[in-house]
């Protein structure tokens, strides 16, 4: 059907409720809006759905959620694992509870038990819950750190990680095979509850999750010793982190945790935020104000589904608060865990640090120093979680820590996704250790630079919305793939990786080797002196992202090199 045929179908068919039809009637004279809502189906990507909330095939609504869930149900039934059930969690966004219910009732109508949290919970707790309950899959209703108009739907499998190949493509195939909305099943909630196919979950999972978090603490004695001296400001950015973060810090003994009152409670409109993303400095406006009032040592922010952590730390020398990138905070936690586990004799045999191809190259010297195996995977924490499963299956290594540049990390294996709750806890332990030794987190970060090198990274993003935007993003990738630049200014390209074609090309000899990773639409340029640049279209937003990193002789030198590389990249584009 054309987009107008699809539009008329939604307006006229009895399957769609009157509120949906009224919303569409209000835009019927806006051709571009109608086209954008119906020119395609909201893509069920390798992790699930994400899009703007609203009526239409290219929007997040109860019908697109129900259809995606029917595809997942069909896949589960073909696997014969329906008796295990599916766990469902949701965040603070608009329509999140409703979408969770729709997913649960669609599963129930297919004879698959749904375990649904009784209120909003962090994404990593869903990963934990589905494994604790022995479920075959899990669903999280969240759009993570996206703007307020978005929501999303992520699918996890029984190992607790987001779905990966080949399962992701197989589930996508089942979703795409559904051509008739009338074939999508649902049922009355009271009937589902009575039949035992819709069950609420809550406190018992929370308690078990908290217990697992606290197992990652290495020096509880240091926390108790310094807990009265550390001042922590925290904001959940109107999301799911408030209760679990405050609870774990309280149970560990931290005495002075100040929560930003304007962002303490769930707010689906994020009225105090332009963008609920801990990567955005503006998200810290209220937190930094409170930090200065309380003279806080550290300032922490978790995104709405509490899987990403943003950090500021007070520089004792200047009195100013310094921001930490995800690479920086991840390296602080990694160094602390590797150092202290080595010192206390609690490092497991064959330890492994897992990271992504766009994360800081500082991971390499740290891994070498502690004799820990470094494993690089594709962008996306699901590939880090997948490695834990591989380790368990093969017995080859023991997972110690995993991180990605986009403010996500995981200590322990209780979850198979990035966990900001455990990251907060670990970083507060590091802060207590620093306080005991008359240091700040910034002092420790400077010591890492001195020890391993002055690594610095950044991103350059181009946003291209709509039909034309998708085409332009594809054209940029094709141009770089077909004619890879031989240099970025003074940076000669040493090797060119095309993960879609599974090849690495030595730019001088022309020799080709395989990447060894799954196929993905990612291009990577290896540069001298640990420099690099990577191009990757976003899987969740209408953007193409360029990641880059350098190593300098000092912080100023690294910043100059990074600025120069960014400008050279722009000139190539």
* pLDDT for residue 43: 87
Would you say 151 and 169 are in contact if contact means Cβ atoms under 8 Å apart?
Answer: no
DSSP state of 169: H
Choose the catalytic residue: 92, 144, 406, 520: 144
Beta bridge partners of 537: 544
* pLDDT for residue 465: 78
Pairwise CA distance, residues 47 & 559, whole Å: 34
The sign one gets for the Cα dihedral 563, 565, 571, 573 is: negative
Domains and CATH numbers, the chain: 40-201 (3.40.120.10), 223-452 (3.40.120.10), 454-572 (3.30.310)
**Burial class for 27, CB neighbours closer than 10 Å (0-12, 13-18, 19+):** middle
User: Which residues fall within 8 angstroms of residue 516, CB to CB, at 6 or more apart?
Assistant: none
Beta bridge partners of 526: 495, 532
pTM of the entire predicted model: 0.95
Chain centroid, CA 373 distance in Å? 23
Would you say 156 and 125 are in contact if contact means Cβ atoms under 8 Å apart?
Answer: no
Q: Find the length of the chain.
A: 573
* pLDDT for residue 538: 81
* pLDDT for residue 540: 63
Check whether the bond before 166 is cis (ω within 30° of 0): yes
* pLDDT for residue 1: 82
Read off the tokens for 85: 């059930």
Pairwise CA distance, residues 296 & 233, whole Å: 6
User: Which residues fall within 8 angstroms of residue 88, CB to CB, at 6 or more apart?
Assistant: 100, 103, 104, 114, 115, 116, 117, 126, 138, 139, 140, 141
Closest to 398 in 3D by CA, of 341, 336, 358, 344: 341
Across the beta sheet with 114-117, the strand order is 48-52, 150-157, 137-141, 86-90, 114-117, 198-201
Pairwise CA distance, residues 114 & 106, whole Å: 9
Catalytic status, residue 538 = no
Pairwise CA distance, residues 9 & 5, whole Å: 6
Instruction: Spell out the per-residue pLDDT of the chain, length 573, in tens.
Output: 899 999 999 999 999 999 999 999 999 999 999 999 999 999 887 778 999 999 999 999 999 999 999 999 999 999 999 999 999 999 999 999 999 999 999 999 999 999 999 999 999 999 999 999 999 999 999 999 899 999 999 999 999 999 998 999 999 999 999 999 999 999 999 999 999 999 999 999 999 999 999 999 999 999 999 999 999 999 999 999 999 999 999 999 999 999 999 999 999 999 999 889 999 999 999 999 999 999 999 999 999 999 999 999 999 999 999 999 999 999 999 999 999 999 999 999 999 999 999 999 999 999 999 999 999 999 999 999 999 999 999 999 999 999 999 999 999 999 999 999 999 999 999 999 999 999 999 999 999 999 999 999 999 999 887 767 888 898 999 999 999 999 999 999 999 999 999 999 999 999 999 999 999 999 999 999 999 999 999 866 678 999 999 999 999 999 999 999 999 999 998
Pairwise CA distance, residues 41 & 186, whole Å: 20
Q: What is the 3-state secondary structure (H, E, C) of 22-40?
A: HHHHCCCCCHHHHHHHHCC
Would you say 356 and 383 are in contact if contact means Cβ atoms under 8 Å apart?
Answer: yes
* pLDDT for residue 140: 98
* pLDDT for residue 238: 98
* pLDDT for residue 45: 79
Read off the tokens for 69: 């869930």
């Amino acid at each position: 059907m054309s987009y107008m045929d699809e539009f008329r179908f939604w307006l006229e068919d009895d399957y769609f409720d009157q509120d949906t039809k009224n919303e569409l009637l209000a835009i019927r004279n806006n051709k571009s809006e109608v086209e954008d809502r119906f020119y395609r189906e909201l893509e069920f990507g390798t992790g699930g759905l994400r899009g703007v909330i609203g009526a239409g095939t290219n929007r997040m609504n109860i019908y697109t959620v129900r259809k995606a869930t029917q595809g997942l149900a069909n896949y589960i039934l073909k696997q014969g694992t329906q008796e295990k059930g599916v766990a469902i969690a949701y965040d603070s966004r608009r329509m999140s509870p409703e979408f969770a219910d729709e997913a649960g009732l669609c599963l129930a109508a297919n004879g698959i038990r749904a375990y649904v949290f009784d209120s909003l919970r962090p994404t990593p707790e869903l990963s934990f819950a589905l494994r604790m309950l022995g479920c075959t899959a899990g669903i999280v209703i969240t759009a993570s750190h996206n703007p307020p108009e978005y929501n999303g739907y992520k699918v996890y499998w029984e190992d607790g990680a987001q779905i990966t190949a080949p399962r992701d493509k197989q589930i996508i195939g089942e979703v795409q095979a559904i051509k008739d909305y009338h074939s999508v099943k649902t049922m009355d909630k009271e009937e589902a509850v009575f039949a035992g196919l819709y069950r609420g979950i809550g406190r018992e999972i929370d308690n078990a999750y908290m217990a697992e978090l606290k197992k990652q603490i290495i020096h509880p004695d240091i926390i108790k010793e310094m807990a009265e001296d550390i001042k922590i400001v925290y904001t959940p950015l109107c999301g799911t982190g408030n209760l679990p973060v405050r609870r774990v810090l309280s149970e560990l003994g931290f005495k002075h945790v100040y929560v930003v009152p304007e962002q303490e409670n769930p707010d689906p409109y994020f009225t105090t935020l332009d963008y609920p993303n801990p990567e955005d400095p503006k998200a810290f406006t209220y937190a930094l104000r409170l930090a200065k009032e309380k003279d806080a040592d550290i300032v922490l922010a978790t995104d709405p589904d509490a899987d990403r952590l943003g950090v500021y730390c007070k520089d004792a020398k200047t009195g100013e608060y310094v921001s930490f990138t995800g690479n920086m905070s991840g390296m602080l936690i990694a160094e602390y865990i590797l150092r202290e586990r080595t010192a206390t004799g609690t490092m497991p045999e064959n330890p492994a640090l897992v990271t992504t191809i766009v994360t800081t190259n500082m991971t390499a010297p740290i891994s070498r120093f502690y004799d820990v195996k470094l494993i690089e995977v594709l962008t996306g924490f699901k590939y880090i979680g997948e490695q834990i499963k591989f380790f368990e299956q093969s017995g080859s290594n023991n997972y110690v820590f995993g991180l990605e540049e986009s403010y996500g990390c995981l200590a322990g294996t209780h979850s198979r996704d990035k966990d900001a709750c455990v990251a907060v806890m670990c970083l507060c332990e590091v802060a207590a250790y620093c306080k005991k030794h008359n240091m700040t987190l910034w002092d420790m970060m400077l010591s890492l630079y001195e020890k391993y090198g002055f690594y610095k990274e950044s991103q350059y993003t181009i946003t291209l919305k709509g039909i034309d935007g998708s085409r332009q993003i594809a054209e940029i990738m094709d141009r770089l793939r077909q004619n890879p630049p031989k240099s970025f200014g003074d940076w000669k390209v040493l090797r060119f990786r095309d993960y879609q074609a599974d090849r690495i090309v030595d730019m001088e000899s022309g020799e080709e080797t395989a990447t060894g990773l799954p196929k993905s639409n990612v291009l990577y340029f290896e540069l001298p002196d640990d420099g690099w640049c990577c191009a990757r279209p976003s899987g969740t937003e209408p953007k193409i992202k360029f990641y880059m990193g350098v190593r300098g002789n000092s912080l100023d030198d690294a910043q100059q090199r990074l600025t120069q590389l960014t400008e050279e990249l722009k000139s190539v584009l």
